[in-house]
């Protein structure tokens, strides 16, 4: 599921990621084996129109084989059955096997032509299930009636954490019913409502749920025409929420006025860490949002891609964002930012209040002069935990600009990622830049390895707070 997921503890996150990938791999093997067996059976029975779109006979055969495979793998913790067009009949056949499972935690039934009858079966399962934590249903035909039935199940279900409903015709009426369920639900963490014909009225109905709900952390409303009215109700939602950390609003037609209204809610919010606002034509509304974040200690990731941010707007935007002392990742791609705009951004990066670690500027109008400006800014940085990644992909930088980074990387070892792809940089110069980047990474890894060894010897990690691995010095 395409949602923002922050992992607390990198090693623990990697372990969960490997486990999830193993589960997905096993799921794919089981589905492919069931598909192969079902087609072999149909051919033996004299049904020759196999391949292409599944007809009813093929659907029945596939699900029957899948149920057998599923019952034979009682430890299967995830099932991805995507784009098989199993429909309501297939879901009704599959649900009894799902109910028997005590291990299944993730179920993906995207693009399966599931309508009301199939949703009724799934909802009935949810009312009894105490294991499933993730349900992905994007690209089906659920509609308002199906969402209403799911909402009833959510009122009693206490284990489901992630629900994906992208492109299901939820509409404002469906959102209203989900909002009522959220008032009593205490388990749902992620709700994906992308591209569901939701308007400002739907957001109004949803905002009321956040007075009572204290668990929902990720809300994705991308691809809905929320406009200025919706932005106003999102501001109310941001004031009311006690839990929301990630708000995704890509392509919601907010405009400058919508940006201004959203900013009013951000000023009173103390929970949000990630805000995605790409493709909204915010213009000067982006400045209002940045000013609302000044002095904040929660916002970490901000995406303002493709928002008509020119150099004049950037001259106000950059100083405000430079004062947002918790911001670690900023994306300003596709905004026609030129060499003069780079000067404003370099000042932002150099600000003593700026904690930015990643700056993404893909597909702008940055040339050699901009590269020179950024390189000089890097040379002036001496705090290791500042800028670590700079993405300048698909701009107008040539060898002259790229060479400026060579000297900067010699003096500033904190940059571990520099993307100069799709520019006018020769292979020779790009290789030289990449070599220095890898050397910086190696030095960083070696410093951290030595630090870990010191911690192991001392066994006093609480006494080592503030240690900078690049200094090679530990003060006990």
Q: What is the pLDDT of residues 32-49, one digit of tens each?
A: 765 666 556 555 555 444
What average pLDDT is seen over the chain?
A: 85
Please indicate, yes or no, if residue 276 is contained in any of the structural domains. no
pLDDT at 15: 42
pLDDT at 357: 94
Give the chain's domain count.
1
- Which pLDDT tens digit goes with each residue over 173-228? 999 999 999 999 999 999 999 999 999 999 999 999 999 999 999 999 999 999 99
Element (H, E) at 190: strand 190-192
Section 433-460 average pLDDT: 63
> Quick check: 53 pLDDT over 50?
no
Element (H, E) at 172: helix 171-184
Range of the domain at 433: 362-464
> Quick check: 50 pLDDT over 50?
no
Beta bridge partners of 359: 330, 390
Please indicate, yes or no, if residue 414 is contained in any of the structural domains. yes
Among 51-55, 385-389, 456-460, the range scoring the smallest mean pLDDT is: 51-55
Section 415-422 average pLDDT: 94
Please indicate, yes or no, if residue 207 is contained in any of the structural domains. no
Helix and strand element counts for the chain (H, E): 15, 13
Among 31-35, 149-153, 230-234, 308-312, the range scoring the smallest mean pLDDT is: 31-35
- Which pLDDT tens digit goes with each residue over 116-136? 999 999 999 999 999 999 999
> Quick check: 279 pLDDT over 60?
yes
Higher-confidence position of 29 and 350: 350
Please indicate, yes or no, if residue 183 is contained in any of the structural domains. no
Section 426-447 average pLDDT: 81
pLDDT at 440: 76
Please indicate, yes or no, if residue 14 is contained in any of the structural domains. no
pLDDT at 370: 98
Within a 10 A sphere around the Cβ of 13, how many other Cβ atoms?
Answer: 13
pLDDT at 448: 52
Q: Can you give the pTM of this predicted structure?
A: 0.87
Residue 322 to residue 313: CA distance in whole angstroms: 14
> Is residue 4 within 8 Å of residue 218, measured between CB atoms?
yes
Please indicate, yes or no, if residue 329 is contained in any of the structural domains. no
pLDDT at 41: 59
SS3 assignment for 72-128: CCCCCCEEECCCCCCHHHHHHHHHHHHHHCCCCCEEECCCCCCCHHHHHHHHHHHHH
Higher-confidence position of 10 and 208: 208
What residues contact residue 301 under an 8 Å CB cut-off, 6+ apart?
Answer: 4, 273, 274, 275, 276, 327, 328, 329, 330
**Tokens at residue 192, please?**
């994906």
- Residue 426 sits in a domain whose CATH number is 3.80.10.10
> Quick check: 451 pLDDT over 50?
no
> Quick check: 280 pLDDT over 90?
yes
Among 124-138, 247-261, 383-397, the range scoring the smallest mean pLDDT is: 383-397
Please indicate, yes or no, if residue 221 is contained in any of the structural domains. no
- Helix orientation angle between 56-71 and 10-44, rounded to the nearest 10 degrees: 130
Tokens 């890894």 appear where? Answer: 445
Section 370-374 average pLDDT: 97
> Is residue 170 within 8 Å of residue 163, measured between CB atoms?
no
> Quick check: 289 pLDDT over 50?
yes
Percent share of the chain, pLDDT over 90: 67
Section 65-92 average pLDDT: 86
Higher-confidence position of 61 and 355: 355
User: What is residue 225's three-state secondary structure?
Assistant: coil
Work out the pLDDT band at 31, boundaries 50, 70, 90.
Answer: low
Please indicate, yes or no, if residue 242 is contained in any of the structural domains. no
> Is residue 408 within 8 Å of residue 380, measured between CB atoms?
no
């Amino acid at each position: 599921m395409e949602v923002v997921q922050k992992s607390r503890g990198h090693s623990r996150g990697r372990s969960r990621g490997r486990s999830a990938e193993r589960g997905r791999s096993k799921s794919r093997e089981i589905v492919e084996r069931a598909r192969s067996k079902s087609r072999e059976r149909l051919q033996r029975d004299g049904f020759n129109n196999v391949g292409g779109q599944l007809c009813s006979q093929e659907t029945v055969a596939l699900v029957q084989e899948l149920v057998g495979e599923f019952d034979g793998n009682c430890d299967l913790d995830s099932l991805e059955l995507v784009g098989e067009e199993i429909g309501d009949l297939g879901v009704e056949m599959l649900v009894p096997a799902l109910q028997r499972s005590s291990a299944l935690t993730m179920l993906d039934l995207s693009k399966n032509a599931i309508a009301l009858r199939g949703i009724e079966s799934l909802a009935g399962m949810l009312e009894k299930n105490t294991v499933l934590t993730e349900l992905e249903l994007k690209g089906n035909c659920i509609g308002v009636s199906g969402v209403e039935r799911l909402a009833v199940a959510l009122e009693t279900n206490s284990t489901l954490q992630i629900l994906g409903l992208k492109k299901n015709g939820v509409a404002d009426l469906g959102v209203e019913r989900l909002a009522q369920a959220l008032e009593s639900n205490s388990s749902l963490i992620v709700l994906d409502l992308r591209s569901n014909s939701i308007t400002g009225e739907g957001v109004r109905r949803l905002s009321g749920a956040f007075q009572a709900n204290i668990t929902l952390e990720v809300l994705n409303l991308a691809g809905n025409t929320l406009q200025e009215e919706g932005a106003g109700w999102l501001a109310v939602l941001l004031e009311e929420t006690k839990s929301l950390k990630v708000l995704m609003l890509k392509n919601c037609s907010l405009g400058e006025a919508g940006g201004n209204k959203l900013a009013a809610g951000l000023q009173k919010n103390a929970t949000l860490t990630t805000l995605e606002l790409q493709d909204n034509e915010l213009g000067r509304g982006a400045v209002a949002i940045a000013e609302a974040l000044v002095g904040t200690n929660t916002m970490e990731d901000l995406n303002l891609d493709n928002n008509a941010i020119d150099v004049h707007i950037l001259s106000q935007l950059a100083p405000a964002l430079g004062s947002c002392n918790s911001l670690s990742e900023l994306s300003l791609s596709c905004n026609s930012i030129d060499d003069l705009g780079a000067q404003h951004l370099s000042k932002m990066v150099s600000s003593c209040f700026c904690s930015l670690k990643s700056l993404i500027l893909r597909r702008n109008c940055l040339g050699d002069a901009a590269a020179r400006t950024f390189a000089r800014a890097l040379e002036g940085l001496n705090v290791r935990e500042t800028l670590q990644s700079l993405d300048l992909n698909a701009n107008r930088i040539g060898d002259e600009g790229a060479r400026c980074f060579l000297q900067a990387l010699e003096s500033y070892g904190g940059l571990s990622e520099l993307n100069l792809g799709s520019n006018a940089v020769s292979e020779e110069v790009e290789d030289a830049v990449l070599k220095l980047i890898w050397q910086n990474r190696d030095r960083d890894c070696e410093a951290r390895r030595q630090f870990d060894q010191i911690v192991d010897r001392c066994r006093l990690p609480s006494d080592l707070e503030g240690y900078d691995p690049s200094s090679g010095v530990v003060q006990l």
